[in-house]
Amino acid sequence: MREAVPDSTGAPGDTGPVGFPRMWRQGENLLVGAALVAMVLIPLAEIVLRAAFKVGISASTSLVQHLTLVVSMVGGAIAARENRLLSLSAAVDYLKGPYRSAAQIYSGAFALAVTALLFVAGVQFIGVERLGGTILAYGIPVWVIQLCIPAGFALISFHIIRYGADRWPGRLLVVLIAGMIITAGLMSPFSPADMVPVGLAGLILATAMGSPVFVLLGGAAVILFWGAELPIASIPLDQYRLVTNPSLPALPLFTLAGYFLAEGGAPRRLIRLFQVGLGGVRGGPAIITAVICAFFTSFTGASGVTILALGGLLMPILTASRCPERSALGLLTGSGSLGLLFPPCLPLILYAIVAKISLEEIFLGGILPGVLLVALTALWGARQCPRVESNERGFSPGEVARALWEAKWEMLLPLVALGSLFSGLATPVEAAALTALYSFLTQTVFHRDLKLSRDIPRVLTECGLLIGGVLLILSVALGFTNYLVDAQVPSRMVDLVTGAIQSPLVFLLLLNVFLIIVGCLMDIYSAIVVVVPLIVPLGAAFGIDPVHLGIIFLANLELGYLTPPVGMNLFLSSYRFDKPLQEVYRSIVPILLVLLGGVLLITYIPILTTFLPNLFYR
């Protein structure tokens, strides 16, 4: 798979194909950055006004929710502009010459056809919303902000054309074929229901050739709605409802906090702290790797960011400690996804929203399982390291104290994020805004690693790109999911599974196998929207605690990132460390087995997940 991860060549918009207007790129970057800044400032102002004057900002919650919609569509357009929309590992990568060009044109044409239809659906949605006359705040009609849905799809369509071929004759061919695909569907002599299998087959082929994941899920929704002769305007309606969910703004805000840390000097300071504290212990570098990777993934929400950003810092530490190169490669690849169970990681937030469970409970539920997986990874890594000789550098309290003082602001970050949330001082969105502000201050004011004019716009754009790419997938996938729900697929699955399986233990084992396969084939964000509504009723039928089910789901998806041959982190690790995929496969097998054991412990010892939620909320 390919993930929307930072490009080492520079900020989004500073590179990109020649000929795309620089002013337009800067406008997109400025808009997504301004929306993120406003999302931080409005909740912070709410906290201050509530504490000082017992008042708030009129419609502040709604404003922040609709700013999330702006970030999702503009960020998605930027991801398309930079050709960094998430896609599956494409068969086109293995083609050469004219075959490669033909596959690229076909996948681009099908992606353009789907995106154009989503644009039409967005226009239809706006037409209905205008008739409602709903006011967002301060006299601004809601439909004005909702316009970013069709506008975003229009921009994405334009960028798909640009990347559909290398030259304009090829791009015109992409447009022509896309028009033929749409016309063939609308003018077919066969009934729409009969054409659904043909449309889905073409969509799957386009995905294999490199079309983005959002095209697969959005296209499936469009085709199925068309086959059932239902209005496709319900797809952007579902998109709007998901993106403006009251809890969702916490997702981009916590991610922004993680990006400030990753782009500043925080990785270097935290690594130095753990190195002077544990560097003289056998396995100290392995423990450092597991803990630091988990810390950063928990805030950025993207394991690829962790591997790409920290791999260059941690690999020399591991090799300098005489850790075998293959073990070091496996440890870094496996550690990239460790933080997915720790609050405030993106998948935890998304799962809580889709499964309709308490955000605070799933935050608490992930802590002990996350600690277990980090501990198992660190112990395995420590066993791969040679024993420390007595004449090697020992523990120095003075060095530890200096390193701790230098990293004190970063060490306080979890206290700010979780303390403000669980103390009742702030709502989840306000806690996320406070965390983003704190991370900004630590890297720009306290340490001065990031410059306001040079670095902050780049970080804001990079964060918007990642969030836009993720929310674009989630929002169009919801239309597909709701079609499955309307078709009573979940209830039929419950009847089928409960009729064939009576034991909850057997169900959990089969669920683990199924989820690992899902993790190999789908990115975690798509899986949350598509698969969670299917398994939640099954969990309820077998009496499984909903928070426990959520942690089982996410822990298995962690394994999916690492499972050969198509786990996403395997490709990212191969790219980052310049190693053949076969070598990465061999390196990951031992740590994959260790983590599999951890997932089974999480699955069959539910108290690991339920203890903290029961202690504080039940």
For Cα atoms 329, 331, 337, give the angle at the middle one, nearest 5 degrees: 115
Give me 549's structure tokens: 């089910």
Q: What is the pLDDT of residue 5?
A: 45
Q: What is the pLDDT of residue 397?
A: 81
* Position 20 pLDDT exceeds 60: no
Give me 290's structure tokens: 């597991």
Sequence-distant (≥ 6) Cβ neighbours of residue 268 within 8 angstroms = 313
Measured between alpha carbons, how far is residue 320 from residues 316, 333, 393 in Å?
6, 18, 13
- Count other Cβ atoms within 10 Å, centred on residue 503: 9
pLDDT in tens, 197-215: 999 999 999 988 889 889 9
* Position 581 pLDDT exceeds 80: no
pLDDT in tens, 324-361: 889 999 999 888 888 889 998 888 998 999 899 998 99
Percent of the chain past pLDDT 70, that is, above it, reads 92
Q: How far apart are CA 181 and CA 195, in angstroms?
A: 12
* Position 364 pLDDT exceeds 50: yes
Q: How far apart are CA 117 and CA 123, in angstroms?
A: 10
Q: First and final CA of the chain: distance in angstroms? A: 40
Question: Cα 423 to chain center, whole Å?
Answer: 27
The radius of gyration of the chain from alpha carbons, rounded to an integer in Å, stands at 24
pTM of the model: 0.83
Q: What is the pLDDT of residue 279?
A: 61
Helix axis angle, 234-243 relative to 456-486, nearest 10°?
Answer: 130
Give me 414's structure tokens: 């979890």
Give me 134's structure tokens: 């709903």
Sequence-distant (≥ 6) Cβ neighbours of residue 547 within 8 angstroms = 357, 358, 361, 362, 365, 609, 610, 613
Q: What is the pLDDT of residue 15?
A: 45
- Count other Cβ atoms within 10 Å, centred on residue 196: 17
141 DSSP assignment = E
Question: Cα 138 to chain center, whole Å?
Answer: 33
pLDDT band at 280 (very low <50, low <70, confident <90, very high): low
Give me the mean pLDDT over the 182-189 stretch. Answer: 88
Check residues 516 and 406 and name the one with the higher pLDDT: 406
Question: Cα 68 to chain center, whole Å?
Answer: 15
pLDDT in tens, 304-323: 667 766 777 788 888 877 88
Average pLDDT, the chain: 86
Q: How far apart are CA 552 and CA 547, in angstroms?
A: 9
